[in-house]
């Protein structure tokens, strides 16, 4: 298991240990022997040795992963994770004592037990079975059930099972076989033994626990259903007593057993089916079949292949992205259709902290999902050019890019202005000066200058304003859901509401070359431009007046979301930023306000014509034969001495070789890999060495050697 799923292997090994303890107890009970510390330890070592060697054998995977996770808490740029945010939401903010109390004090989290796709997903009978097993006569059964109850209810164990990443009950999924085992034992006991009124107690306890937890998150509309189910299951248990009595008189033992199992297990299956059809689809807890077929359509493979083949022409090194609806983009966050497709989206609990900060704070990208870890592909034309997203595969019509080809309903667009993933330039500015830039220059400047730790050429450290960048305002006209308030807007939408907003520019009169200096006309309609790179830049702050609900605003299909305060991954996205491509003299955008009540303030809008591609002086030409695995190889001809710039997130594990010699890597554009380069033609090789890989290989060797020794010993023991 550990070789295929690091996440679930922790819970899987725990499940094996719990079951091993149970079997050890059963063995002693059958022999009528008492447990001893020495005997338990000896059996435990024999039981654990194969698991220990399995962990060691996976060291080549575990050690680099562990170091990446450790890096998250050290403040280094190479790693980050969701643990702090998750703990603060689930345990509450406060001092260390309060957090420790929250970790070690048992909590009843029913939403992680009942019908949850992110938990155990059980019906109420499973909780009843757990309670009943906790008080069985056999101590081996009691120990198993009590260990499971403690692990499931004490947050610190759930936190450990999640690998120290967050507190999510899905880590308990490997315990499901143990629950099924307890269910089988319970059904056997109920069907074979005489009816007992004491057997009613677990059902009553189940109903009490559901009532106590009715106000927990996720239980609002569900708890009446659970209460009804638990009551009916109680009735089914009582019905088994009647069945036993009827068939006892008729001396039909087999029907007593069948009838009991059929009533309890059958009722559980019926409630599961009812929930799946009536509740899960409403909560989007189950994946829609049609949607699944859409996002896994084999036709996409062919279209992506066409695009990546185009990207590799003449040694080009570009990204190929797939864009769709918000749901489709979420499903494709980590999906690539072939090994030549490079993307900039990611969904991971362990992330590159520098890249995360660049997207969220430095650049200020849209955050379309309530989970801040979901870093999506964006339609932002500035970011797309910066990241080298040259080829876009989509079913939708795209602005500001050229239609390259079609395949059925799929279209392939080419962004001719996109940077190469790796390029050379002498046009740089210092990070110190870049940090002084306000919005929107923090975005547009990255299309004019490469940001480096210190200026390589001071004369290039200043920048000119982006051509035709000036202020603008949005005019909504009359709409029932929008009202002006305190220099901003108040939104009260009873449902998702679409509105049209007119873009009106405000050109600084001092920048206009006019003979009539006294003409007081500083507000005009946006003038026509022949460029296809016009962009509306928009930013405003949001205040959710109903913080228990998500808040979402779309601008021409580009979504920003502020998640509800109680969400596990609260995204803290209180500043919405958009960059929307405009066609020709287009002066109108469609804005959709989600249902809710909220305020917009500090509204900033700009119209910009993006600069040309002069920044990308020297294009990197990829050697497709040598580029594989952890190696990127190719050549580049620097026109002037300057910097090698990449849009690959910086990590200390990268090694750059120029003409066969190691060079010092630097962090460029605040978050990406780069290095200084001299003028001339150069062979470039970038290799990634995962930290801890050498130690991991040693661990794996020891683990495999241990397995070999165990196998030999078992073979010798068998012969004896």
pLDDT one-digit tens code per residue, 564-608: 987 777 888 999 999 999 988 888 999 999 999 999 999 999 999
Q: In sequence order, what E strands does 641-698 have? A: 642-649, 654-658, 661-663, 666-668, 672-677, 680-688
CA atoms within 13 A on the CB side of 227: 13
Specify the pLDDT at position 414.
94
Q: Domain ranges for the chain, please list them.
A: 82-224, 299-418, 470-609, 618-691
Q: How far, in Å, CA of 672 to CA of 452, rounded?
A: 10
Specify the pLDDT at position 240.
80
Three-class DSSP category at 560:
strand
Specify the pLDDT at position 57.
93
512 in the Ramachandran plot: left (φ > 0), alpha (ψ -120 to 50) or beta? beta
Element spanning 29, H or E: helix 6-31
Q: How far, in Å, CA of 49 to CA of 114, rounded?
A: 35
Model pTM score:
0.81
Specify the pLDDT at position 521.
29
CATH class of the domain at 470-609: mainly beta
Q: How far is CA 667 from CA 431, 439, 450, in A?
A: 10, 22, 11
Specify the pLDDT at position 256.
60
Q: What are phi and psi of 456, to 5 degrees?
A: -75, -25
What residues does 680 pair with on adjacent strands?
Answer: 638
Mean pLDDT per 10-residue interval, the chain, length 720 residues: 81 94 91 88 90 92 83 50 51 60 80 80 90 91 94 89 80 93 89 82 93 81 86 87 67 61 80 71 62 88 91 85 92 92 87 88 91 86 95 92 90 94 95 92 93 66 61 84 87 92 67 36 35 84 93 94 84 94 89 95 93 93 92 94 95 94 95 95 95 92 92 80
- 88 close to 96: Cβ distance less than 8 angstroms: no
Topology, domain 618-691:
Immunoglobulin-like (2.60.40)
What's the token pair of residue 660? 């066969």
Specify the pLDDT at position 519.
35
Cα dihedral 415, 420, 424, 427 sign:
positive
- Asked if the domains at 470-609 and 618-691 fall in one CATH topology, the answer is no
The DSSP code for 438 is P
Specify the pLDDT at position 370.
87
């Amino acid at each position: 298991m550990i070789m295929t799923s690091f996440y679930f292997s922790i819970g899987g090994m725990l499940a094996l240990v719990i079951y091993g303890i149970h079997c050890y107890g059963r063995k002693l009970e059958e022999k009528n022997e008492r447990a001893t510390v020495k005997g338990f330890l000896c059996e435990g070592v024999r039981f654990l040795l194969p698991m220990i060697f399995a962990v060691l054998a996976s060291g080549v995977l575990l050690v680099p992963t562990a170091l990446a996770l450790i890096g998250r808490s050290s403040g280094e740029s190479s790693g980050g994770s969701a643990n702090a945010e998750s703990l603060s939401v689930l345990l509450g903010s406060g001092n260390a004592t309060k957090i420790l109390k929250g970790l070690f004090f048992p909590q009843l989290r029913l939403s992680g037990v009942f019908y949850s796709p992110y938990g155990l997903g059980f019906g109420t009978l499973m909780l009843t079975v757990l309670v009943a097993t906790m008080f069985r006569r056999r101590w081996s059964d009691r120990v198993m059930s009590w260990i499971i109850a403690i692990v499931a209810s004490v947050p610190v164990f759930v936190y450990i099972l999640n690998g120290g990443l967050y507190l999510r009950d899905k880590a308990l999924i490997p315990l499901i076989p143990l629950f099924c085992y307890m269910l089988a034992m319970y059904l056997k006991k109920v069907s074979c033994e005489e009816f007992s009124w004491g057997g009613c107690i677990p059902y009553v306890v189940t109903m009490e626990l559901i009532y106590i937890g009715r106000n927990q998150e996720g239980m609002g509309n569900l708890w009446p259903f659970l209460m009804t189910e638990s009551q009916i299951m109680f009735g089914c248990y009582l019905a088994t007593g009647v069945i036993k009595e009827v068939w006892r008189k008729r001396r039909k033992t087999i029907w007593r057993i069948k009838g009991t199992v059929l009533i309890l297990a059958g009722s559980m299956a019926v409630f599961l089916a009812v929930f799946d059809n009536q509740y899960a689809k409403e909560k989007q807890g189950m994946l829609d079949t049609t949607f699944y077929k859409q996002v896994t359509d084999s036709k996409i493979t062919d279209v992506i292949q066409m695009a990546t083949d185009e990207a590799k022409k003449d040694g080009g090194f570009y990204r190929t992205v797939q864009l769709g609806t918000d749901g489709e983009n979420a499903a494709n966050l980590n999906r690539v259709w072939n090994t030549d497709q490079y993307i900039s989206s990611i969904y991971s609990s362990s992330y590159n902290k520098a890249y995360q900060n660049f997207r969220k704070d430095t650049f200020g990208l849209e955050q379309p999902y309530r989970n801040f870890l979901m870093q999506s592909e964006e339609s932002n034309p500035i970011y797309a050019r910066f990241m080298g997203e040259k080829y876009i595969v989509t079913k939708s019509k795209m602005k500001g890019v050229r239609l390259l080809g079609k395949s059925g309903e799929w279209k392939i667009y080419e962004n001719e202005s996109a940077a190469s993933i790796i390029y050379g330039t002498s046009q740089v500015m210092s990070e110190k000066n870049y940090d002084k830039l306000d919005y929107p220059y923090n975005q547009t400047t990255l299309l004019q200058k490469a940001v480096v730790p210190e200026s390589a050429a001071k004369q290039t450290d200043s920048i000119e304003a982006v051509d035709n960048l000036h202020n603008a305002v949005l005019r909504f006209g009359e709409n029932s859901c929008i009202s002006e308030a305190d220099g901003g807007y108040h939104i009260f939408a009873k449902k998702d509401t679409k509105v049209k907003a007119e873009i009106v520019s405000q050109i600084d009169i001092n920048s206009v070359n006019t003979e009539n200096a006294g003409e007081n006309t500083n507000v005009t309609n946006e003038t026509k431009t022949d460029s296809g790179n016009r962009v509306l830049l928009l930013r405003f702050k949001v205040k959710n007046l109903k913080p228990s609900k998500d808040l979402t605003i779309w601008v021409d299909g580009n979504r920003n979301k502020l998640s509800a305060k109680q969400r596990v991954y609260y995204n803290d996205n209180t500043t919405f930023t958009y960059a929307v491509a405009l066609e020709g003299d287009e002066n109108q955008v469609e804005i959709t306000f989600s249902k809710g009540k909220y305020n917009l303030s500090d509204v900033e809008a700009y119209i910009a014509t993006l600069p040309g591609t002069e920044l990308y002086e020297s294009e990197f030409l990829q050697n497709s034969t040598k580029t594989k695995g952890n190696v990127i190889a190719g050549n580049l001809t620097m026109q002037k001495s300057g910097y090698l710039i990449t849009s690959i997130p910086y990590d200390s594990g990268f090694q750059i070789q120029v003409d066969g010699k190691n060079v010092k890597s630097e962090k460029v554009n605040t978050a990406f890999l780069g290095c200084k380069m001299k003028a001339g033609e150069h062979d470039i090789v970038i290799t990634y060495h995962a930290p801890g890989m050498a130690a991991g290989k040693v661990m794996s060797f020891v683990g495999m050697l241990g397995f070999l020794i165990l196998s030999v010993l078992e073979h010798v023991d068998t012969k004896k």
